[in-house]
Chain A
Amino acid sequence: MSYAIPAFLPFFLAALFAAIAPVRFRYLLVLVPLVNGILIYLNADQLTPISIQLHTFTLQIMDVGAQVTEQDAKLTLLFAYLFHLACFICLIYALHVKDKVQIVAGLLYAGSAVGAVFAGDFITLFIFWELLAVTSAFLVFARRTKASKAAGIRYLIIQVLSGVLLLIGAISYFQQTGSLEIGYIGLGSLASWLFLIAFGIKAAFPFMHSWLTDAYPEATPAGAVFLSAFTTKVAIYMLARTFPGEDLLVYIGAAMTCFPIFYAVIENDLRKVLAYSLINQLGFMVCGIGIGTALALNGTVAHAFNDVIFKGLLFMTMGAVLHRVGHVNGSNLGGLYKTMPKTTFFCIIGAASISAFPLFSGFVSKSMVMAAMIEAGHEYLWLMLLFASAGVFHHAGIKIPFFAFFAHDSGLRPKEAPTNMLVAMGIAAFMCILVGTYPEFLYQMLPWENSYVPYDLTHTLTQLQLLFFSALAFVWLNKKGLYPPELKSVNLDFEWIYRKALPAAGVGLARFADNLKTHFVGFAVSAVNALPVKKRGNDANAATLTLRMALGFVFLAVLAFVTQFI
C-alpha cells in the first residue's frame, strides 16, 4: 500500500463537505485529520511524489521520496504529523461551533499548512502561503465584532504582503539560480533577503510581529487555537529548511524571546498575553535555527512540536473562559476555579509545560536550544534566554492561571467548559505530560541524530531553582504591592506606526494638499479676475473672435520661431 494523494486534499474535500452538508454532520470531520495522519504515518516511507505540469512549469505538490534528503523528509513528516494532530484537537475543540465559516476556514487553513510543508518549490509554497493568509483571516472575521473585522483586514494585508515578498523573492531567485527547489538559501543576494523578510513576517520577527498580537486576541475562541498552531510554525519550518545556521537569526531570536515578556506582564487581555508569549517561544526556535547545529535544530523542531500543543492548550483554556464569560480581561476575572475546576486544571498543565517544569513537555525541548547556545559559545545570549525562561514562567506560567482562575474573586460563576472543549484540552494536556515524561516519543521522530538527555541532576535542579525563585519573586512583589495591577488599557506597540502614525501622517498630508489646492485655486481665480474683461456681454461678435484667433496665431508663430533657436 502506498499513499498517493496530495496530503492536503482530504482537508480541502472535508472543507467542501462541511460547506454543503448539514451542520449536524460536522462530527465526521474530526476523523479527517486523524485518518489522514495515521495513513501518512503508516506509509511514511512509501509516500508517492506528485507534481502538476502547468505549461512549462512543474508544481511539486508532494515533494517526497528518494530525491529528498533524509533530514528534510523527516522534518517534513514531523511537521505534517504535528499539523494533523493540531487540526484533530482543534476540530474537537470546535465541535460545539455551529458556524460553518469557522469550520470551513479552519479545515482549509490546516490543509494549507499541510500543503506548505510538502511543497517542493517556491511557487507551490507561495500558493499555500497565500491560502494560509486568506483562510485564516476568516477565523478572525468570524468573531463578527467591529474590532475583529478591522483586525482581520489588517492581518490579511500584512499576511498577503508576506506572500507577495515571497513571490518576488522566488522570481529573483529563479533568475539567479535557474531553480525554484526549496533548499538551503543562506543570506547574501536580494532574493535571500526577500525570502527572509517574507518568512520573518509570518514568524513574527521584531517589528513585524504586531499582526500576531493584534489579530489573535480578536479571533473566535476556536479560531485562536487554530491560528496559534499553523501560520508561525510553517514559517519556522521554512526558516529551518532555508536558513539553518544563519548567524543573524540567533540575535533576532534572542530579541524575540525578551521583548514580548515585558508587554505580557502589563497586558490585560489574557489572550494577548498568550500572543506575546507565542512570540517569546518562537524566539527560542529562531535561535535554534540560527545556531544551526544538529542539537539546536532538533531542539527547534521539538520545541515547535511542544509549543503547538501547550500554547494550543493555553489558548483553549482562555477560549473556554471567553466562551463562558464573554471576555478574557484579567482585570475583570478571578476566582473561576470554583466553577471551572477542570479548565483550571488543564490551564495549570499548559502553564507548567510552557514554563518548562520537569515532567512537562517544555522541559525536554527548550533545554536543547539552551544547551546548543552554550555549545555555540553565545554566553550573553544564553543569559538572555535564561532571563526569558524565567520571564515566561512569570507571565504565562503564573499570570494566566492566577488572574483568570484565582486572584481576587470576581464573583463570576460561569459554567464549566462544554464537554468537547474539555476533551480537546484533555488530549493536549495528555500530550504535554506524555512528551515530558517519555521524551523518546518525540526524540525518535527528530530529523537529526539525537543523543540529548534532558533528565540529569544538574538540569533538573537548576531549572527547578530558576522556576521556584521566579515564583518567589511573584509572591514577594505581590506582597509588597509592587506587582502591576491588571488595568483596562491598550499598550502601544509597533502597530502604533500603522494604526496611528501613518493614518495621522496621511490625514496631515491630505490637509496640506487641500490647503495647497485652496491657495492655488484662490490665486488662479484672482489672476483671472485681474484680467481686463473685454467681452461685451455674451454676444462676442465675429470680429472680436477673428481678432483673438489672429493674436493666438501670431503668438504661436513667435513661439515656433523662438524654439528654432533653443
Chain B
Amino acid sequence: MKIETNNTGQKVHFFDNPRNVTWMIRIFYAICILLVAADFVVHRHIYLSYDEIPAFYAIYGFVACVVLVIIATGMRKFVMRDEHFYDKREDEVEQIVPRVDVEHALNSTDEESHS
C-alpha cells in the first residue's frame, strides 16, 4: 500500500508497510498449521461422536464462518434498503476531524482487497 499524505513529516505506521502485514499473515498461517498439527499429537477428550474427526473444531470454525458470510451476503438481497429507508437521517454530522489524503494502491497485499 502506498501512502501519500500532504503531511510529509508523518511517520509510516506499522500496518502501512506491506512487508509487516505479509509477515503477520505468515505467522498467523503458521499458528493455524501448528494448531492442526497439535490435534494429532495431543490426546484430547472426546465428548461427542463428531468430536472424533481430526481437527473437527478447525474445520467447523472455518466452514461456519464461510457459510455465515455467504448466507449473510445473500440476505442483503432481501433485507438491505437505503439508509434513509425509515426516516431521513440528516442531522448526523461528522465532526471536524483532521484528515489526510490517502491513495490506496490496487494490488495491496493485506486482507483488504475489497476496499
Tell me if A465 counts as interface (CB < 8 A to partner B): yes
Q: Report Cα–Cα, A471/B62, bound state, in Å.
A: 8
How close is B11's CB to chain A, nearest CB, in angstroms?
Answer: 9
Q: Report Cα–Cα, A230/B68, bound state, in Å.
A: 30
Q: Report Cα–Cα, A499/B84, bound state, in Å.
A: 13
How close is B62's CB to chain A, nearest CB, in angstroms?
Answer: 4
B92 touches A145 (CB 8 A): yes
Which residue on chain A has the smallest CB distance to residue B101?
A: A411
User: Interface digits, A466-499 against B, CB 8 Å rule (1 contact, 0 not)?
Assistant: 1111111111111111111101111111000001
Q: Report Cα–Cα, A474/B104, bound state, in Å.
A: 21
CB-CB under 8 A from A268, the residues of chain B are 83
B87 touches A150 (CB 8 A): yes
Which residue on chain B has the smallest CB distance to residue A258?
A: B68
Given contacts A386-B64, A473-B65, A493-B79, contact A145 B104 (CB under 8 A): no
Tell me if B52 counts as interface (CB < 8 A to partner A): no
B68 touches A465 (CB 8 A): no
A474 touches B73 (CB 8 A): no
Given contacts A466-B61, A499-B86, contact A484 B69 (CB under 8 A): yes
Q: Report Cα–Cα, A332/B98, bound state, in Å.
A: 14
CB-CB under 8 A from A394, the residues of chain B are 65, 68-69
How close is A405's CB to chain B, nearest CB, in angstroms?
Answer: 10
Given contacts A413-B99, A413-B100, A490-B82, contact A265 B68 (CB under 8 A): yes
Q: Report Cα–Cα, A483/B76, bound state, in Å.
A: 12
Given contacts A461-B39, A461-B42, A489-B82, contact A386 B111 (CB under 8 A): no
B100 touches A473 (CB 8 A): no
User: Interface digits, A401-413 against B, CB 8 Å rule (1 contact, 0 not)?
Assistant: 0000011111111
Q: How many residues of B contact A (CB 8 A)?
A: 68
Which residue on chain B has the smallest CB distance to residue A495?
A: B86
B73 touches A484 (CB 8 A): yes
User: Interface digits, B47-81 against A, CB 8 Å rule (1 contact, 0 not)?
Assistant: 11000000111111111111011111101101111
B114 touches A324 (CB 8 A): no
CB-CB under 8 A from B31, the residues of chain A are 468
Which residue on chain A has the smallest CB distance to residue B108?
A: A408
* Of B38, B76, B89, B104, the contact of A408 (CB 8 Å cutoff): B104
* Of A325, A472, A493, the contact of B94 (CB 8 Å cutoff): A325
A469 touches B97 (CB 8 A): no
CB-CB under 8 A from A467, the residues of chain B are 61
Given contacts A394-B65, A394-B68, A413-B98, contact A478 B35 (CB under 8 A): no
* Of A146, A382, A461, the contact of B91 (CB 8 Å cutoff): A146
A266 touches B75 (CB 8 A): yes
CB-CB under 8 A from A406, the residues of chain B are 15
A262 touches B72 (CB 8 A): yes
How close is B109's CB to chain A, nearest CB, in angstroms?
Answer: 10
Residue among B25, B48, B79, B111 facing the most chain A CB atoms (10 A cut-off): B111
Q: Report Cα–Cα, A327/B89, bound state, in Å.
A: 12
Tell me if A206 counts as interface (CB < 8 A to partner B): no
Q: Report Cα–Cα, A476/B111, bound state, in Å.
A: 8
A262 touches B71 (CB 8 A): yes
Which residue on chain B has the smallest CB distance to residue A487?
A: B80
B102 touches A470 (CB 8 A): no
User: Interface digits, B20-37 against A, CB 8 Å rule (1 contact, 0 not)?
Assistant: 000001001101100110
B62 touches A472 (CB 8 A): yes
Q: Report Cα–Cα, A268/B81, bound state, in Å.
A: 12
How close is B74's CB to chain A, nearest CB, in angstroms?
Answer: 9
B112 touches A478 (CB 8 A): yes
Given contacts A261-B68, A262-B75, contact A464 B35 (CB under 8 A): yes
B48 touches A379 (CB 8 A): yes
* Of B15, B58, B86, B90, the contact of A490 (CB 8 Å cutoff): B86
Which residue on chain B has the smallest CB distance to residue A150?
A: B87
A485 touches B115 (CB 8 A): yes
Residue among B42, B57, B73 facing the most chain A CB atoms (10 A cut-off): B57
* Of B13, B86, B94, the contact of A500 (CB 8 Å cutoff): B86
CB-CB under 8 A from B16, the residues of chain A are 409
Q: Report Cα–Cα, A459/B114, bound state, in Å.
A: 35
CB-CB under 8 A from B73, the residues of chain A are 265-266, 482, 484
B3 touches A468 (CB 8 A): no
User: Interface digits, A431-465 against B, CB 8 Å rule (1 contact, 0 not)?
Assistant: 00000000000000000000000001110011111
Q: Report Cα–Cα, A382/B60, bound state, in Å.
A: 13
Tell me if B8 counts as interface (CB < 8 A to partner A): no
Q: Report Cα–Cα, A466/B51, bound state, in Å.
A: 13
A265 touches B62 (CB 8 A): no
A413 touches B61 (CB 8 A): no
How close is B29's CB to chain A, nearest CB, in angstroms?
Answer: 8
Q: Report Cα–Cα, A461/B56, bound state, in Å.
A: 11
How close is A147's CB to chain B, nearest CB, in angstroms?
Answer: 6
Q: Report Cα–Cα, A410/B57, bound state, in Å.
A: 36
Q: Report Cα–Cα, A462/B43, bound state, in Å.
A: 12
Q: Report Cα–Cα, A234/B90, bound state, in Å.
A: 35
CB-CB under 8 A from A74, the residues of chain B are none
A327 touches B15 (CB 8 A): no
Given contacts A265-B69, A485-B115, contact A468 B58 (CB under 8 A): yes
Tell me if B113 counts as interface (CB < 8 A to partner A): yes
Tell me if A391 counts as interface (CB < 8 A to partner B): yes
A468 touches B61 (CB 8 A): yes
* Of B32, B70, B87, B115, the contact of A469 (CB 8 Å cutoff): B32
29 residue pairs A–B, Cβ–Cβ below 8 Å: A146-B90, A146-B91, A147-B87, A147-B89, A261-B68, A266-B72, A325-B94, A332-B94, A338-B13, A379-B48, A394-B69, A408-B112, A465-B35, A465-B57, A468-B28, A470-B64, A471-B28, A472-B28, A474-B65, A478-B112, A479-B111, A484-B72, A484-B73, A485-B115, A490-B81, A490-B82, A490-B85, A492-B85, A500-B86
What are the 8 closest A-B residue pairs judged by CB atoms, nearest first?
A473-B65, A408-B115, A326-B95, A469-B61, A265-B72, A458-B44, A478-B111, A466-B61
18 further A-B pairs in the complex, CB-CB below 8 A; given A390-B61, A390-B64: A145-B91, A266-B72, A266-B79, A266-B80, A268-B83, A324-B95, A391-B65, A409-B1, A414-B98, A456-B45, A461-B39, A461-B44, A465-B58, A469-B60, A469-B65, A473-B63, A489-B76, A492-B80
